[in-house]
Amino acid sequence: MPNEYAIQAVVEHLRYSQWKRTIGGQFDALYCSHNLEHYYKHEGMKVLRGFLHVLKPGGFAEIRVPDLKTVMKHVVAAEMDVEGTMYVVAGVPITVRDVIYGWGKRIEESGVDFYAHKTGFTPSALTAVLEQSGFAHVFVAVWAEAFEVRALAFKTEPTAAQRRLLGL
């Protein structure tokens, strides 16, 4: 189980733009999986600008978030209720409500509001927020089976080597 104080410290660091104190251009790549939806839209944009700050000139971020478009299509097609199980992780059912609003059980147990989802994404919404934050080149793909949208967002034009390595 993650340390709640450590999580809160990281959240506050990113939420309040304290990344500006960090030396820029340190990292080739960043990986952000199911984190961005835990910020309000305007805070998420600050976090993404922080990513740009710490990335090297040729750097990129891989970002994964729940895909609300795929979720909504599935829920409507299956005529699911908000308490219906979308999938199971480690024996724990994840409901429609959990996917949209954040893992309710975890929020209740921890008392930490960061576990709540404060914004949502579709492929076009994720592309837009990445571009608005300053990423020059964005590639997005949907992984429907996981109800997930994934993006590779580059600070500059990806190199031929990056394109080959990442299958772009």
Q: Which helix (H) or strand (E) holds 75?
A: helix 68-77
Our count of domains for the chain comes to: 1
**If DSSP codes are grouped into helix, strand and coil, which group holds residue 72?**
helix
Least confident of 20-29, 131-140, 149-158: 20-29
Whether 112 contacts 8, CB under 8 Å: yes
Share of the chain above pLDDT 90, in %: 58
Residues 1-19 as b/e (b if ≥16 CB within 10 A, e otherwise) read: eeeeeeeeeebeebbeeeb
pLDDT at residue 78 tops 90? yes
Determine the structural domain holding residue 56 and report its residue range.
4-166
Q: Give CA–CA dist 85/103, Å, rounded.
A: 12
> Residue 105 and residue 9: Cα distance in Å, rounded?
22
CATH number at residue 128: 3.40.50
Tell me the C-alpha distance between 118 and 35, whole Å.
11
> Token match 């729940």: residue?
66
pLDDT of 93 strictly over 80: yes
The alpha carbon dihedral of 81, 146, 87, 96 has a sign of negative
What is the distance between the alpha carbons of residues 134 and 104, in angstroms, rounded to a whole number?
A: 33
CA distance between the termini of the chain: 36
What predicted TM-score, i.e. pTM, was given to this entire model? 0.84
DSSP conformational letter for 144? G
Residue type at 68 in one-letter notation: L
Give 112-127 pLDDT, tens digit per residue. Answer: 888 899 999 999 999 9
Give the pLDDT score at 1. Answer: 42
